[in-house]
Amino acid sequence: MADISSEECEQWLERDFYGYGPNPPNPNWPNEAKIAVNFVMNHEEGGESSVELGDQGAEAFFHDFGPPGLITPVPGERDPSTESQFEYGPRVAVWRLIRLFDKHKIPITFYAVAKSFERNLDVPKHVEANGHETCCHGYRWRSYGDCSPEEEEDHVRKAVESFRKTSPSGRVPPGWFVGRPNARSAHIVAKVYKELGLEFLYWADSYADDLPYWKPMPGNPDEGLLIMPYSFDNNDTKMWFGQYASDDAFTQHAIDTFTTIREEGLEGRPAYITVAFHSRWMGRPGRFQALRRIVEHMLQFDDVWFATREQIARHFANEHPYDPSKFKTTPTSKALNGAANGHGKAQNTTGSL
């Protein structure tokens, strides 16, 4: 594996507290839409921690046994109850959820763990055949925060090869969301994609904005990597953590988010929102109605663009292309231009501000 220096990673991770400032660019959504809405189904089942897959213990995160720390997996022992909860996702829940979106012709994004697609080939087949998007959510559903560079690169290569096999067309996702990345993660994906001649369009491990924004491609600042901010507040994990007291609270929060961003769009500042959920969780009969209420509320408006993350990214990139001059640094500065797209302020840079 080629070395990726800590300095290079720190430079790419230089924090930006200005962003677009008070006057964000108009993304000019199709058909003069005032808001873009992206639904994300996290599809992780079959890629979670499991003794069956050689892990030390069963999955301890995000299942119906309760909040974090309530149960402790027994090292070296399989947990049939937890395994069966994850199996519910691809067996039942994913189909209940996808019927909702197919019924209304809403394209959605699958944050797909590569191993999960391997274990039920009907899912990637349906995704591709019905106009939905696959975004890579890693080879396994795990934290990469404590992963060695060598192991992480191996997982990226395995994910690429896996998606080639599970996609009916052999397509590799141009977008990535690791979920629990480290400082090197984007650089490793960029390195592997460049070596394999693949398109790396966007990176979604950010929560910093309501619009996409550009950063230099790791390892090649002459090219851009579009950052597609995700959402943890419009996310059903909040139910599991106990931060929403009821399903209705989740529904209302998502609807309120939609209302705020749409109202800002009507005032001339369109943006996008993400509503995220997990098949094994939101696809349970009792929780499903919360999502249905969100979808049916948004369908009442005719100025909404329902789109995948890839569609939003390609549209934004066409409207606001990457300009490498806005990210050039002077010899006296290690910091990247802190103003995403040159709209804010930054010190010691040659970007036009």
pLDDT tens figures, 121-166: 999 999 999 999 999 999 987 778 888 999 999 999 999 999 999 9
Using the predicted structure, report yes or no on whether residue 39 has a pLDDT greater than 90: yes
Using the predicted structure, report yes or no on whether residue 200 has a pLDDT greater than 90: yes
Using the predicted structure, report yes or no on whether residue 342 has a pLDDT greater than 70: no
Distances (CA, A) of 248 to 14, 123, 240, 278, 301: 38, 29, 14, 17, 21
Q: How many CA atoms lie within 13 A of 130 on its CB side?
A: 20
Q: Give me the pLDDT at residue 66, please.
A: 67
- Give the confidence band of 276 by pLDDT, cuts at 50, 70, 90: very high
Using the predicted structure, report yes or no on whether residue 350 has a pLDDT greater than 70: no
Q: Whole-angstrom Cα distance, residue 44 to residue 64?
A: 15
Q: Indicate the SS3 state at residue 52.
A: helix
| pLDDT (tens digit per residue) in 233-254 | 998 877 776 667 688 999 999 9
Q: Give me the pLDDT at residue 117, please.
A: 97
Identify which has the larger pLDDT, 47 or 33. Answer: 33
Q: Give me the pLDDT at residue 341, please.
A: 45
- Window from 133-142, 295-304, 326-335, 341-350 with minimum mean pLDDT: 341-350
Q: Give me the pLDDT at residue 190, please.
A: 96
| pLDDT (tens digit per residue) in 279-314 | 988 999 999 999 999 999 999 999 999 999 999 999
Q: Give me the pLDDT at residue 198, please.
A: 98
Using the predicted structure, report yes or no on whether residue 215 has a pLDDT greater than 80: yes
Q: Whole-angstrom Cα distance, residue 117 to residue 43?
A: 8
Report, as an integer, the average pLDDT of 26-46.
96
Distances (CA, A) of 64 to 43, 47, 48, 116, 236: 16, 17, 15, 19, 13
Q: How many CA atoms lie within 13 A of 229 on its CB side?
A: 16
User: To the nearest whole percent, how much of the chain has pLDDT over 70?
Assistant: 86
Report, as an integer, the average pLDDT of 81-101.
92
Neighbours of 61 (CB within 10 A): 14
Using the predicted structure, report yes or no on whether residue 111 has a pLDDT greater than 60: yes
- Which residues lie across from 330 on neighbouring strands? none
User: To the nearest whole percent, how much of the chain has pLDDT over 90?
Assistant: 67
Using the predicted structure, report yes or no on whether residue 335 has a pLDDT greater than 60: no
Asked if residue 37 lies in contact with residue 305, where contact means CB atoms within 8 angstroms, the answer is: yes
Using the predicted structure, report yes or no on whether residue 330 has a pLDDT greater than 60: no
- For all residues of the chain together, what is the average pLDDT? 87
* Nearest to 258, CA basis, from 275, 236, 246: 275
Q: Give me the pLDDT at residue 331, please.
A: 40
User: What is the DSSP code string of 180-204?
Assistant: S--TTHHHHHHHHHHHHT----EE-
Identify which has the larger pLDDT, 282 or 55. Answer: 282
Q: Give me the pLDDT at residue 245, please.
A: 67
pTM for the whole structure = 0.89
Architecture of domain 25-303: Alpha-Beta Barrel (3.20)
Asked if residue 134 lies in contact with residue 329, where contact means CB atoms within 8 angstroms, the answer is: no
Report, as an integer, the average pLDDT of 207-212.
97
Report, as an integer, the average pLDDT of 331-345.
42
Q: Give me the pLDDT at residue 338, please.
A: 41
Using the predicted structure, report yes or no on whether residue 340 has a pLDDT greater than 50: no
Q: Whole-angstrom Cα distance, residue 209 to residue 204?
A: 11
Identify which has the larger pLDDT, 113 or 5. Answer: 113
Report, as an integer, the average pLDDT of 23-47.
95
Q: Give me the pLDDT at residue 145, please.
A: 82
